[in-house]
């Protein structure tokens, strides 16, 4: 019995190591699919409601209620039912997903600080002016300013994150190379 358990443990360790290596190599695509699934679920909720599948729709609406107010007047409607996200969040998370997808595929674009702020500014102005009662926004404006902010966020942060990870891995390669040289020197001495 102990041998079987040891063999199982060894196989599990090997599998976990290779799965971890795969995720480490493909983390960006894992992130793209995860955010895409989140956007898809927000769209799936009204479709399920329209088809009478409330046992699927209700938990999705409930899950998304923790991150979005879900006010019907500020939400896009699909097949006669509101999405699980408001229009601004739909744009924001949709923009994050599209930005990740384009960056993962082409490693472009990379935004400067100024350009990123310029693209986030419309969301701040739209949301801020509505919050202070200066004006009432529209769902189209909420969606488009959210989309710009989502794209800007990803195109600003992801290139820097990837560059940071690349420089750390190359510096760790350099340090492991230096360690190997040091170990050889010590063995020769």
Number of domains forming the structure of the chain: 1
Q: Residue 101 domain-assigned?
A: yes
In a domain, 180, yes or no: no
Cα dihedral 120/148/72/66 (nearest 10): -70
Predicted pLDDT of residue 189: 38
- Residue 186 pLDDT: 39
Q: How many whole angstroms separate alpha carbon 122 and alpha carbon 145?
A: 6
Q: For residue 179, is it within any domain?
A: no
In a domain, 109, yes or no: yes
* pLDDT, greater one: 172 or 127: 127
Give percent of the chain above pLDDT 70: 88
Find how far residue 51's CA is from the centre of its chain: 29
- Residue 72 CA to residue 139 CA, distance in Å, equals 11
| 184 in a structural domain | no
Is there a domain that residue 181 lies in?
Answer: no
Instruction: Tell me whether residue 132 is in a domain.
Output: yes
Whole-model pTM? 0.78
Tell me whether residue 22 is in a domain. Answer: yes
d(CA 90, CA 67): 12
Give the domain range for residue 58: 2-167
Q: pLDDT tens digit string along 137-189?
A: 999 999 999 999 999 999 999 999 988 887 766 665 555 554 454 344 434 43
Condensed to tens digits (0 to 9), the pLDDT of residues 66-78 reads 999 999 999 999 9
The fraction of the chain above a pLDDT of 90, given in percent, is 67
């Amino acid at each position: 019995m102990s041998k079987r358990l040891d063999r199982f443990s060894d196989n599990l360790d090997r599998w976990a190591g290779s799965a971890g290596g795969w995720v480490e190599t493909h983390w960006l695509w894992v992130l793209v699919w995860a955010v895409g699934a989140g956007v898809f679920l927000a769209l799936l909720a009204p479709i399920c409601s329209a088809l009478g599948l409330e046992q699927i729709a209700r938990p999705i609406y409930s899950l998304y209620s923790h991150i979005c107010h879900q006010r019907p007047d500020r939400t896009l409607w699909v097949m006669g039912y509101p999405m699980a996200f408001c229009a601004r969040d739909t744009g924001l998370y949709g923009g994050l997903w599209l930005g990740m997808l384009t960056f993962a595929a082409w490693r472009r674009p990379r935004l400067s600080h100024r350009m990123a702020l310029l693209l986030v500014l419309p969301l701040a102005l739209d949301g801020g002016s509505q919050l202070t009662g200066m004006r009432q926004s529209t769902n189209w404006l909420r969606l488009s300013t959210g989309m710009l902010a989502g794209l800007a966020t990803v195109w600003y942060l992801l290139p820097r994150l990837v560059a940071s990870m690349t420089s750390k891995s190359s510096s760790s390669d350099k340090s492991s190379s230096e360690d190997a040289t040091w170990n050889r020197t010590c063995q020769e001495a």
